[in-house]
Amino acid sequence: MFAANAQRMQVVMNRLSFVLRSVNKGVQQLEQPLLALARGIDFSVANGEVPSKAPELSSLVKQICQQKSDILALPLIMVLMVSIKNACKLGWFSATDTKEIIDLYKEISSSFCLPENVDAEPSPSNPNIQTYMER
């Protein structure tokens, strides 16, 4: 299962590299690959897996973030950046790449109303819910 996810991620990374090199790139060509890559990263993070292609992924993410001026692509990039941020927390990238990626995350997330720390880990429910349920 992990090998299949790694292979899917590699195919998606290749597709994104191709799209980013093309002259006529648009949000339609980025949408599915960006979401597929985010899903692949989330799957790997959830299973504690570090893909062998992680170093290549950091440079691809930096290329993708160059598209941040496209207002239609920005939400898609943000979805990917949340996944990448969680991968950074698990040590997928070098310290230098991690810092650059986190800085890009902060820059892109400033365009959205997000809490400072978005984690992939489950959090306990709000204690006030129990109070309201008793009423």
- State the pTM of this model: 0.79
| Domain extent listing, the chain | 2-134
Rounded percentage of the chain residues whose pLDDT exceeds 70: 82
| pLDDT tens per residue, range 84-114 | 999 999 999 999 999 999 999 999 998 887 5
SS (HEC) of the chain? CHHHHHHHHHHHHHHHHHHHHCCCCCHHHHHHHHHHHHHHHHHHHHCCCCCCCHHHHHHHHHHHHCCCCCCCCHHHHHHHHHHHHHHHHCCCCCHHHHHHHHHHHHHHHCCCCCCCCCCCCCCCCCHHHHHHHHC
Banded pLDDT at 79 (limits 50, 70, 90): very high
